[in-house]
């Protein structure tokens, strides 16, 4: 990147790794560069064994694959497989939570229902009777409705989508043939359609991309989050801290990394239960810290401190201060086991799907959650015993951060201003321009963009223009580490209109200052919370979601999951900024479809901007267009 504004925390972490002689992902990327141009354009196909085929759309080489597949079909097919990868990850996570909830209700898994209010709200949505019934019975009905979605073969609309998604948008999706029934069947169909000799029509393939993304949105995210809230509680506003400085030299540091709170909630519980053992081992306490999305889950519900986002995971291990890193699913770099080995850190995998050479594998499944969690925390205490007296190097940087902004927490807060009509203060301030618009800044942290602080800089440009930023995933870590989830950030970065609104909200929340301008709404699955908030605002205004002055942005895309999440925003009519470019540029028709013509289908477009200011400027202009269309 031309501009180097390396965030101070990254700088400190890279110095520790360098001082201690570790090569990092940056070094591995450098050796790898330049990366494959065909891959970047999306015109590399290795689906059949007549290939691999490579099309250079700008040169004089082959214009189709050996089978005659066109570049547009090739990029669309590859994009669909990316989307399947993302959707399968979230749907798998959702199903695991569903089965855990079912087993908990049947007394076969040691979890209790903590989100009674969520059970009641969902019962209303799904028409489940509540009068005179036990919470667990109501919940069993909800579980059965969810289970039906995973088993049905009748092609009737998916329960969760048809009851949770807004009706007008569903009518559009129905017209476009995007409604779905059983998510598993659709994942199978998409893999089948993209295997050699099936769908070769780029438009048909791109509609499949949108359909797969909707499955991600309504089953992978919404169903998952609804059920997680039932099991673990609906997040409430809480103050936490973020960045590597949350590690404590004299405590047993347990880093929970991955995505699924079914594991991390138990680790937290057993860390409390085994505190005495840790003290007996010479530690001050057990310090559970959060990494990536499971960290976000813990910070949202318990105020657990956030240690690192994805591109910092290997770096925090080089401090030598992490006694155990326990991981579940998704975004776990194999390299972590190698770094852990150098420090005698207990790097513990727990899911049969995530086996990594040199890791300690302790199978964790909900039926025996307590036994496994106890063993894992015990391993951390043992590792602390071995670490005592050895040098650690923990950069002191950290920031306070406000987390826990679930839609329910936001509405509760707004109800203090207007109990009858909680969304009215927001609507009024959007109408008068104090809130110019909303951007959901979501997704990953990428070493390709960290050196110019892409996310932080882009967010600051948005705040100056009175845009409220909603965030999840690793971008939430980035914002938290940079102090963007503090009252000071409101004073320092926001335009006057947004500052005034946040001052009123901060007072209502009982904070010492204004509410922060970047709202931590959770993990990547919690993007459904951003959607829920937008749906509620649109409903209150009587418009479609796509008409709101709102945009999505994934400024540091890494994972397939971010692709399918982006697709779910597009299907809702919410335009998305993205960096780097998705791997479609070798297909001119697909590129035009996503950047222009999609406007005619769903009302949304994709925009690639690689620099923070360019990205913010485009979003501001796009929001201005939406405002003008609304007449505000």
Angle CA(287)–CA(103)–CA(130) in degrees, nearest 5? Answer: 105
Among residues 55 and 331, whose Cβ is nearest to ligand BF8?
331
Choose the stretch contacting ligand BF8; rule: CB under 6 A; options: 38-46, 115-123, 232-240, 557-565: 557-565
Cβ within 8 Å of residue 276, ≥6 positions away: none
Among 183, 290, 443, 522, binds ligand BF8 (CB under 6 A): 443
| CA dihedral of 425, 429, 434, 438, whole degrees rounded to 10 | 90
Among 561, 583, 622, 626, binds ligand BF8 (CB under 6 A): 561
Cβ within 8 Å of residue 605, ≥6 positions away: 575, 594, 595, 596, 598, 599
Shortest Å distance, C-beta 562 to ligand BF8: 6
Residue 479, helix vs strand vs coil: helix
Among 559, 564, 591, 602, binds ligand BF8 (CB under 6 A): 559
Among residues 471 and 490, whose Cβ is nearest to ligand BF8?
471
Helix axes 224-232, 527-541, angle to 10 degrees: 110
Among 115, 202, 473, 573, binds ligand BF8 (CB under 6 A): 473
Residue 563 is a binding residue for ligand BF8 (CB under 6 A): no
Exposure string over 62-76, b if 16+ CB within 10 A, otherwise e: eeebeeebbbbbbbb
- The candidate with the shortest Cα–Cα distance to 619, out of 442, 448, 459, 434, is 459
Stretch (H or E) spanning 374: helix 369-387
Choose the stretch contacting ligand BF8; rule: CB under 6 A; options: 138-146, 338-346, 503-511, 556-564: 556-564
Residue 470 is a binding residue for ligand BF8 (CB under 6 A): no
Q: How far is CA 388 from the centre of its chain?
A: 36
Distance of alpha carbon 288 from alpha carbon 277, whole angstroms: 15
Shortest Å distance, C-beta 264 to ligand BF8: 13
Among residues 93 and 626, whose Cβ is nearest to ligand BF8?
93
Residue 310 is a binding residue for ligand BF8 (CB under 6 A): yes
Q: How far is CA 263 from the centre of its chain?
A: 17
Among 17, 558, 570, 594, binds ligand BF8 (CB under 6 A): 558
Residue 471 is a binding residue for ligand BF8 (CB under 6 A): no
| Binding positions for ligand BF8, 194-223, rule CB under 6 A | none
Distance of alpha carbon 522 from alpha carbon 304, whole angstroms: 12
Among 88, 402, 474, 589, binds ligand BF8 (CB under 6 A): 474
Choose the stretch contacting ligand BF8; rule: CB under 6 A; options: 180-188, 431-439, 558-566, 609-617: 558-566
Among residues 141 and 328, whose Cβ is nearest to ligand BF8?
328
Residue 603 is a binding residue for ligand BF8 (CB under 6 A): no
Q: How far is CA 296 from the centre of its chain?
A: 9
Among 292, 501, 593, 619, binds ligand BF8 (CB under 6 A): 292
| Number of Cβ atoms within 10 Å of the Cβ of 274 | 20
- The candidate with the shortest Cα–Cα distance to 569, out of 541, 538, 528, 597, is 528
Residue 326 is a binding residue for ligand BF8 (CB under 6 A): no
Among 346, 562, 570, 604, binds ligand BF8 (CB under 6 A): 562
Site string for ligand BF8, 236-275 (x = CB under 6 A): -----------------------x----------------
Site string for ligand BF8, 329-368 (x = CB under 6 A): --x-------------------------------------
Q: Give the count of residues interacting with ligand BF8 (CB under 6 A).
A: 15
Shortest Å distance, C-beta 485 to ligand BF8: 16
Residue 579 is a binding residue for ligand BF8 (CB under 6 A): no
| 3-class SS string, 115-126 | CHHHHHHHHHHH
Which residues of 350-465 form beta strands (DSSP E)? 360-361, 399-403, 437-441
Shortest Å distance, C-beta 61 to ligand BF8: 34
Q: Which two tokens stand for residue 389?
A: 């007296």
Q: Which two tokens stand for residue 152?
A: 């049905």
Residue 612 is a binding residue for ligand BF8 (CB under 6 A): no
Residue 582 is a binding residue for ligand BF8 (CB under 6 A): no
Stretch (H or E) spanning 350: none
Site string for ligand BF8, 515-554 (x = CB under 6 A): --------xx------------------------------
Helix axes 71-105, 202-215, angle to 10 degrees: 20
Among residues 559 and 568, whose Cβ is nearest to ligand BF8?
559
Choose the stretch contacting ligand BF8; rule: CB under 6 A; options: 60-68, 559-567, 576-584, 600-608: 559-567
Stretch (H or E) spanning 607: strand 606-608
Distance of alpha carbon 107 from alpha carbon 367, whole angstroms: 9
Chain residues binding ligand BF8 by CB under 6 A are 259, 292-293, 310, 331, 443-444, 473-474, 523-524, 558-559, 561-562
């Amino acid at each position: 990147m031309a501009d180097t504004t390396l965030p101070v925390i990254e700088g400190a972490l890279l110095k520790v790794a360098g001082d201690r002689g570790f090569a990092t992902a940056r070094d591995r990327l450098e050796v790898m560069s330049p990366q494959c141009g065909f891959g970047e354009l999306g015109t590399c196909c290795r689906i059949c064994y007549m290939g691999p085929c490579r099309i250079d759309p700008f040169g004089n080489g082959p214009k189709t694959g050996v089978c005659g597949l066109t570049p547009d079909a090739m990029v669309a097919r590859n994009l669909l497989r990316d989307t399947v990868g993302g959707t399968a990850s979230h749907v798998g996570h959702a199903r695991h939570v569903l089965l855990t909830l079912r087993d908990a209700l049947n007394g076969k898994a040691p979890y209790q229902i903590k989100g009674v209010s969520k059970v009641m709200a969902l019962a209303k949505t799904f028409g489940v009777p509540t009068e005179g019934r036990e919470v667990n019975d109501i919940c069993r009905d909800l579980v059965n409705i969810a289970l039906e979605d995973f088993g049905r073969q009748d092609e009737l609309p998916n329960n969760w989508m048809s009851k949770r998604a807004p009706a007008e948008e569903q009518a559009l999706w129905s017209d476009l043939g995007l409604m779905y029934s059983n998510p598993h069947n659709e994942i199978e169909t998409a893999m089948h359609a993209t295997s050699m000799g099936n769908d070769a029509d780029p438009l048909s393939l791109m509609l499949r991309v949108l359909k797969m993304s909707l499955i991600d949105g309504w089953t992978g995210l919404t169903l998952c989050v609804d059920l997680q809230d039932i099991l673990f509680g609906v997040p409430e506003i809480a103050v936490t801290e973020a960045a590597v400085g949350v590690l404590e030299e004299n405590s047993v540091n347990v880093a929970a990394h991955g995505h699924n709170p079914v594991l991390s909630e138990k680790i937290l519980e057993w860390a409390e239960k085994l505190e005495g053992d840790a003290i007996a081992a010479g530690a001050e306490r057990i310090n559970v810290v959060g990494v990536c999305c499971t960290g976000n889950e813990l910070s949202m519900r318990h105020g657990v401190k956030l240690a690192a986002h994805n591109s910092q995971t290997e770096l925090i291990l080089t401090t030598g201060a992490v006694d155990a890193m326990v991981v579940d699913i998704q975004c776990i770099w194999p390299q972590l086991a190698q770094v852990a080995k150098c420090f005698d850190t207990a790097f513990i995998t727990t899911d049969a799907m995530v086996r990594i050479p040199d890791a300690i594998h302790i199978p964790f499944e909900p039926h025996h959650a307590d036994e496994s969690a106890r063993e894992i925390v015990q391993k951390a205490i043992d590792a602390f015993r071995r670490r005592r007296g050895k040098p650690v190097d923990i950069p002191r940087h950290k920031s306070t951060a406000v987390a826990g902004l679930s839609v329910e927490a936001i509405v509760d807060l707004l109800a203090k201003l207007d109990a009858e009509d909680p969304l009215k203060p927001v609507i009024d301030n959007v109408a008068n321009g104090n809130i110019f618009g909303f951007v959901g800044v979501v997704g990953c942290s990428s070493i390709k963009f960290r050196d110019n602080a892409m996310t932080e800089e882009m967010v600051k440009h948005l705040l100056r223009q009175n845009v409220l930023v909603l965030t999840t995933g690793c971008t939430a870590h980035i914002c938290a580490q940079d102090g963007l989830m503090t009252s000071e950030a409101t004073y320092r970065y926001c335009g006057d209109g947004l500052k005034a609104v946040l001052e009123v909200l901060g007072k209502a929340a009982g904070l010492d200052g204004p509410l922060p301008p970047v709202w931590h709404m959770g993990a990547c699955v919690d993007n459904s919370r951003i959607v829920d908030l937008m749906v509620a605002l649109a409903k209150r205004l009587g418009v479609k979601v796509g008409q709101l002055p709102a945009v999505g942005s994934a400024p540091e895309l890494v994972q397939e999951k971010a692709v399918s999440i982006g697709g779910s925003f597009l299907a809702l009519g919410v335009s998305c900024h993205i960096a780097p470019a998705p791997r479609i540029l070798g297909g001119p028709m697909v590129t035009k479809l996503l950047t222009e013509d999609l406007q005619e289908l769903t009302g949304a477009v994709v925009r690639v901007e690689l620099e923070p200011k360019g990205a913010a400027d485009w979003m501001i202009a796009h929001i201005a267009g939406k405002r003008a269309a609304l007449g505000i």
